[in-house]
Structures are given as structure tokens and as C-alpha cells.
Chains A and B, each alone.
Chain A
Amino acid sequence: MAVTNGRPGSASPNGRSRTERLLTFLGSVRFAIFLLSFIAATSILGTLIKQQASSEEYVSLFSEQGYAVIHIFGLDDVFHSWWFLLALVLFSLNLILCTVNRFTLFLKNRSSEALPKESYLSTLALTFFCQGTRLEEVQRLCRGYRAVLTSQQGVILEKGRFAQYGVFIIHTSILLILLGGLLGLMLGFKGSLNLPVGESADTITLRGGGEAARRSLDFSIRCVDFRVSFYENGQPKEFLSSLEVVENKRVVLKKDVRVNDPLTHRGISFYQATYGTDAAFEFVIGGKSVLLNEGGTFRQGSLALMVVRYAPSVHDFGPGVQVAYLDNGEPKAIWFLRDVPRLREQTIAGIPVKLERLTQQQYTGLEVTSDPGLWFVWCGFFLLMAGLYINFGFYHRRVYLIPRDNGVMVAGTSRKNREGFKREFERLKERIDA
């Protein structure tokens, strides 16, 4: 046995180096089962403890000390904690080592086919001796079997050889899915966009990043129309947004996006998630009608203003909208009150501004995601299903034919589906006997 790291003294008594033993352990089925159990057990914790909630919520649920423990161990976000990711990385490593080991062994066995010893054949449960026949005749009756080895001492026949590849396909597919997941986690993003009808946007709000986490797109998206249809009982049946993708002032893509039918452009997908209404304020600024939401801004020449907030009742004078503006570079704020004529129309920077009306504006709630790992996952899914079909739908079996003085010795073996093979073998025996 070679000592791979070359240092003297690192070889263990049984002649294998530490590295070798470590690799064997890392690629073992036992380690795989340990890791899978660990992932399953911690996933259970992830469904019992509320995930990604606010610290206040945890304190009220588990007390101050309880939250401290939860936070230290990352139990408030199990599936993104370092130790969960580590377990997944170790699992991938295990899968790679285990699959490579098995595959090299598989190839080695393939390249050195030899008839098994008599002592092995006699241990097989499925054997019979048929008297007075020639080997060629028996071989002819083994329909669907292919000869792997033909020699004076005997013949090895096999069937369903490709079923052996199933396990390798399955393991590769799992690795592809994990790789796709990792790519999505590192390079992808998830966000949302509430888009009022008739408006367009080129930035979205990233999920879980608070108000500040925004991301700009390389194009803008416009909501041309939004429609909801209802069932008789008032429950929504379907909602859809007519969206347009605008690049360099040109519409490059149009699509009606509905639940279960997203729009994808440049690897970014828009999903119909929700809808709702926002308070909207129609102003007339210098004779021009402008519709603004809370937080909406308007700029024209020296005039720059922003709607700060809406209040349904301002000092019992009825509903009002607070507007901030720059007065010679100095920020100021004033209230526009709908029911007080003097405060409904005011002059900012010499331009008359009037609060025309308070209205509701419908918006479409879009989920926006980008996931560069998606195709890896899709390929992984396809291979996984194909591999399972091959692995469980078919099986590999062998029949050994050994010529004797007065007949042929027939022995059969299969690692999987032994019962099915037993029946097949019995039918074969009947055919040969007849």
C-alpha cells in the first residue's frame, strides 16, 4: 500500500495512510447516512422553530435567554446557517468520493472479467445441472442474454447491464441539483415589485434586506393593464398583468403575466404574486395633472417635491397630504388639505400646486427572481428521474454456463430483484429441460 502523503510514521498499522483512511471514511455509506440523518434532524428543527422572524418575535416566544441560544446556533435561519451549508458541502464531497470509488471499481471489474471459482458458484442459490446438452444449445435458450466472456472453461452471460448505471446517474443528478442550488444562492436574487397600473419601474426591492435593499434592472418594466376575475362567491379566480419590457425606450417584450405563468427577460423572471390598492394623490402642478403615491417624487426645472405621507384626518380638517420640497436648497414641508380651500392650492417655488383629488390606485404585486443555477437543477431533476427509472425499473443479472463431461452446469445471480430473477431463472430451467 502506498503512503500518499509520504511522511514517515503516518502509516497506520494496517498499512494505509491517514489520508487514505480519511478519504475512505469521507466516501463511506455510513458517513452518508450520518450526514443525511443530520440534515433531516436539523430540518425538523427548522420547521418547529419559526424561521427568519424578527428578534422581538423570538424574545416573546422563547424569552431573552432562549433567543440568545437560538441566535448563537443560527436556529432562526437553519437553512442558511454555516453549519447547514457545511453539512451540504460535506454531503456533496461524500457523494463525489463514494460515486468515484464505486465507478472505478465498476470499471475495474468490467476490464478484468473472469469466471468465478467453483467454490463461489456452488454458493449460489440458483443452480441446476442439465444432462446431455451442449453449452451452445443452452446459451441459445438464454434469450436476451449477452455473452460477456466465452472460454473453454465456461461462458458468462448477462442482461440488464445498463441498470448498473442507474446509481451513478442518480448520484450525479443530486450533485447537479446541489450545485444549481449553490449557484442560485450565490449569484441569484429574489425580490418584489409593486407596480401601479400605467407605470413603469427599473428597480426592485430585494427580499429580506429591508427598505434599503434595492436592485436596478438593465431594463424597465411597465404595467399596461391589470385585471382580476372572480368566482360567483367573490373569491378571486384569476389575476393577470399585461407587462411590457422597455429597453432604450423601445418595447422589446409584451406578455400577460398570470399566476403560474411568469415572464422572463434576460434571466430575470416576473411572477404574478399579489395585487392591491395604494392611496394615490392627483396634483395639478403648473396646469399639468400628476399622479403621485406616498414617497413619489416630482421634478420640473427648479421645482422638486416629494409626497411624504398621507393622513386621513389632519387636526379634524379632513384628509391631507404632506409634501416636502426644496426651497433654495433648504428642505421644507407643507400640508395640502383636501377640504380646506386655502390649503388645497398653494404655491411652491412660484408654481401653483393643487391637490386635485385623493384616489385609489391599483397595483400589481410581482415577485422578481433571477436564478443562474436553475438549469442545473432542471437537468438534475431530469437525470434523477431517469436514473431512478433505470435503477428500480431494471436490474442486472448474470448466468454462468460451465461445461461438464455429460452436460452443462447453469448458475444465476442478481443483486437486486432476487425474487423476479428467481422466477425468470425457473422459466429458463423449464425451457432448457423441455
Chain B
Amino acid sequence: MRDSPELLLYISLAFYLVASGLYLLSLRQSRVRNWAYYSLLGGFIAHAAAIGVRYSHAGYTPITNMHESLSFLVFCLAGFFIYLKTFYRASILGVIVSPVLSVLLIFAFSFSSEIRPLPPVLRSFWLPIHTIFAFVGNAVFLMGFLVSIIYLVAERHIKNKKSDSILPGLPPLEILDLMNYKCMSLGFPLLTVGIVTGSIWAEYAWGSYWNWDPKETWSLITWIVYAIMVHNRLAIGWRGRKTAYMMILGFTSILVTFVGVSFFVGGLHSYL
């Protein structure tokens, strides 16, 4: 029984990998696209079970180290893709999203997946609140990042008048821009709640809601990048390519916050 969360996670990875293959195949045979989606859905369900079982084994919300947070990020990205597909008929995104899910989950397995006892500072009800908001936000912005890359590639193809693009059936640019807007208007509040709840937690745990520790500082930098993007879009009226570049810059900052700080800088947040 001890290994069941891991087993479930491997099953979910298998589903994601099958989905990746089928989505790729669907570029030639669009019939299989539904099967690709069902496979991804199966992966998502197995993943939910894996997280649930891990929660009951560990006795705490399993978002406390690199393995767990990457796994949770993948889970959120899969969930957000399912949401987008349901409301925006954006099934073609699966071609990009499913390999990203697979690669990130494989990356998660490269870190120790052992269930470790929780250090005293993490024993708090703020742990689930802070980490869930932060990672749902990260996943939404990861989607925004992927959408932005697709946007830039698609725009280039249209400019060069290569109508036979690498991704046939790609949604029109306005739809991609719209998804980008959706990611911004969901991601920015989520990121803010993530930072605010982390800040409240820090006040209770360390006696200071803001320490300028590298993780905090980088999350502020990330917030500023996205805040600039929000203002460029809502107040100045940027669209399309410029916001796509901002999305990519913002996600780079998230990467530094999430991975870079833990590996290279250290500080209060390095729970690897």
C-alpha cells in the first residue's frame, strides 16, 4: 500500500504519454483527437487519485517539495486545459499541453518522491491555502506562456503566408489572444492571492509579513511583470504580440521564483 500514490502517478504519466502520442497522431488523423482527450482526462483522474492517496498517507497537503509541487503543477495544468477545452473548443492546444504534462511529470520523478515528515514551520493550515493558490496561478500562467508561444509562431506563419502551418486547425489569432486574456484575468488574481496568503503565513510563522527573502522578492518581481502587462492591456490597450511577449517574460520570472531561487539562491523557502 505504501507505494500506491507512486503507482497511481505512474499510471497517470502513462495516460499523459498516450495522450501526447494520440494528439500528435491527430494532426494527420483528426478522428483520434477525441481519444487523445479521453486519455488526458484519464491521466487527470488518476492524478487526482494519486494526490488524494498521497494526502492520506502523508497527513498533509502534498505540495511541500520539488517532486510534490511539480506533480501538483502538472495536475493544475491538466485541469485548466480541460476547463479551456470545455469552454473555448480549444482541443488543438492538447498537442502542446499533453507533452508538457508528460515532460514535467517525468521531471517531477527525477526528485525524491519519498514522503517525509513535515518540518514544524510547514505545519499550518496556511500550507494548503498558500500553495494551492500559488500553483493554480502558476499553472494558469504556464498555459498563458504556451498559448503565447503558439500565438507568436502562428502569427509568423500568417505573416510569411504559409497557410499550411505546422498545426492545421489552429484557432484564429483572436481566439489565442482571447485565451491569453483569460489566462491574465485568472492568473493575476490567483498570483496575488498566492503572495498575500504567503505573506500572512510568514507573519504568523516568522513574525514578518515581508522579509525580502529571494523567493518573496522574485514573486514580487513576477507580480510587477504581470501588473505591467495588465496595465498595458487594460489601460493602454495592447493586444496580441506585445502581450504574448509579456506573458513569456512573466513566466520566465515564475520559473526563476519557483526553480531558480530554490536551486541557486536559497533562503527561507528552499524546501527541496
Closest chain B residue, CB of each to CB of A368 = B207
Contact assessment for B205 and A259 in the assembled complex, using a CB-CB cutoff below 8 Å: yes
Binding-face segment, A140-148, A298-306, A383-391: A383-391
Contact assessment for A47 and B117 in the assembled complex, using a CB-CB cutoff below 8 Å: no
Is there a chain B Cβ closer than 8 Å to A79's Cβ? Answer: yes
Candidates A190, A258, A384; contact of B207 at CB < 8 Å: A190
Contact assessment for B185 and A259 in the assembled complex, using a CB-CB cutoff below 8 Å: no
Beyond the given A40-B224, A46-B217, please list 20 additional residue pairs across the A-B interface where CB-CB is below 8 A.
A36-B227, A40-B221, A43-B218, A43-B220, A232-B117, A235-B119, A238-B123, A259-B121, A260-B120, A260-B121, A260-B123, A269-B207, A368-B207, A369-B208, A378-B200, A384-B196, A385-B192, A388-B188, A389-B189, A417-B185
Is there a chain B Cβ closer than 8 Å to A61's Cβ? Answer: no
Is there a chain B Cβ closer than 8 Å to A392's Cβ? Answer: yes
Contact assessment for A367 and B207 in the assembled complex, using a CB-CB cutoff below 8 Å: yes
Least CB distance from A5 to B in Å reads: 29
Given contacts A43-B221, A44-B221, A392-B186, contact A271 B205 (CB under 8 A): yes
Q: Scoring B residues 187 to 223 as 1 if CB is less than 8 Å from chain A, else 0, what string do you get?
A: 0110011001001110111111110101001101100
Contact assessment for B117 and A273 in the assembled complex, using a CB-CB cutoff below 8 Å: no
Is there a chain B Cβ closer than 8 Å to A261's Cβ? Answer: yes
9 smallest A-B Cβ distances: which pairs? A231-B117, A271-B207, A388-B189, A259-B120, A260-B124, A367-B207, A40-B224, A392-B185, A369-B207
Given contacts A29-B236, A388-B192, A389-B189, contact A238 B120 (CB under 8 A): yes
Is there a chain B Cβ closer than 8 Å to A297's Cβ? Answer: no
Given contacts A36-B228, A51-B212, A260-B124, contact A43 B217 (CB under 8 A): yes
Least CB distance from B177 to A in Å reads: 10
Least CB distance from B55 to A in Å reads: 18
Closest chain B residue, CB of each to CB of A370 = B207
Is there a chain B Cβ closer than 8 Å to A13's Cβ? Answer: no
Contact assessment for A47 and B189 in the assembled complex, using a CB-CB cutoff below 8 Å: no
A29 to B200 CA separation, bound complex (whole angstroms): 29
Least CB distance from A226 to B in Å reads: 14
Contact assessment for A47 and B192 in the assembled complex, using a CB-CB cutoff below 8 Å: no
Closest chain A residue, CB of each to CB of B209 = A377
Contact assessment for B196 and A260 in the assembled complex, using a CB-CB cutoff below 8 Å: no
Least CB distance from B265 to A in Å reads: 6
Q: Which residues of A contact B (CB under 8 A)?
A: 29, 32-33, 36-37, 39-40, 43-44, 46-47, 51, 79, 181, 190, 231-233, 235-239, 258-262, 269, 271, 273, 367-369, 371, 374, 377-378, 381, 384-385, 388-389, 392, 415-417, 419
Which residues in B have their C-beta under 8 angstroms from that of A44? 221
Q: How many residues of B contact A (CB 8 A)?
A: 45
A190 to B208 CA separation, bound complex (whole angstroms): 9
Which residues in B have their C-beta under 8 angstroms from that of A238? 120, 123
Closest chain B residue, CB of each to CB of A32 = B231
Least CB distance from A92 to B in Å reads: 15
A240 to B65 CA separation, bound complex (whole angstroms): 25
Which residues in B have their C-beta under 8 angstroms from that of A273? 206-207
Least CB distance from A94 to B in Å reads: 12
Given contacts A190-B207, A392-B186, A419-B178, contact A47 B218 (CB under 8 A): yes
Least CB distance from A129 to B in Å reads: 25
Least CB distance from B169 to A in Å reads: 20
Given contacts A44-B221, A46-B217, contact A79 B212 (CB under 8 A): yes
A259 to B202 CA separation, bound complex (whole angstroms): 11
A190 to B220 CA separation, bound complex (whole angstroms): 22
Which residues in B have their C-beta under 8 angstroms from that of A43? 217-218, 220-221
Least CB distance from A35 to B in Å reads: 10
Candidates A40, A51, A367, A389; contact of B206 at CB < 8 Å: A367
Contact assessment for A37 and B121 in the assembled complex, using a CB-CB cutoff below 8 Å: no
Candidates A236, A237, A371, A381; contact of B199 at CB < 8 Å: A381
Contact assessment for B224 and A39 in the assembled complex, using a CB-CB cutoff below 8 Å: yes
Is there a chain A Cβ closer than 8 Å to B147's Cβ? Answer: no
Which residues in A have their C-beta under 8 angstroms from that of B117? 231-233, 235, 237
Is there a chain A Cβ closer than 8 Å to B235's Cβ? Answer: yes
Q: Scoring B residues 99 to 124 as 1 if CB is less than 8 Å from chain A, else 0, what string do you get?
A: 00000000000000000011111011
Is there a chain A Cβ closer than 8 Å to B69's Cβ? Answer: no
Closest chain B residue, CB of each to CB of A38 = B224
Which residues in B have their C-beta under 8 angstroms from that of A419? 178, 181
Contact assessment for B203 and A374 in the assembled complex, using a CB-CB cutoff below 8 Å: yes
Contact assessment for B232 and A33 in the assembled complex, using a CB-CB cutoff below 8 Å: yes
Least CB distance from B251 to A in Å reads: 15
Given contacts A37-B228, A231-B117, contact A260 B189 (CB under 8 A): no
Is there a chain A Cβ closer than 8 Å to B149's Cβ? Answer: no
Given contacts A46-B217, A388-B188, A419-B178, contact A33 B208 (CB under 8 A): no
Least CB distance from B115 to A in Å reads: 12
Q: Scoring B residues 34 to 69 as 1 if CB is less than 8 Å from chain A, else 0, what string do you get?
A: 000000000000000000000000000000000000
Contact assessment for A236 and B217 in the assembled complex, using a CB-CB cutoff below 8 Å: no
A262 to B121 CA separation, bound complex (whole angstroms): 12
A36 to B200 CA separation, bound complex (whole angstroms): 23
A79 to B196 CA separation, bound complex (whole angstroms): 19
A381 to B146 CA separation, bound complex (whole angstroms): 30
22 A-B residue pairs with CB within 8 Å: A29-B231, A33-B232, A47-B214, A190-B207, A231-B117, A235-B117, A235-B119, A237-B117, A260-B126, A261-B204, A271-B205, A273-B206, A367-B206, A369-B208, A374-B209, A378-B200, A388-B189, A388-B193, A392-B186, A392-B189, A416-B234, A419-B181
Closest chain B residue, CB of each to CB of A381 = B196
Given contacts A43-B217, A238-B120, contact A385 B193 (CB under 8 A): yes
Which residues in A have their C-beta under 8 angstroms from that of B121? 259-260
> In chain B between 112 and 142, which residues have their CB closer than 8 angstroms to a CB of chain A?
117-121, 123-124, 126
From B120, B181, B208, B212, residue with most partner A Cβ within 10 Å: B120
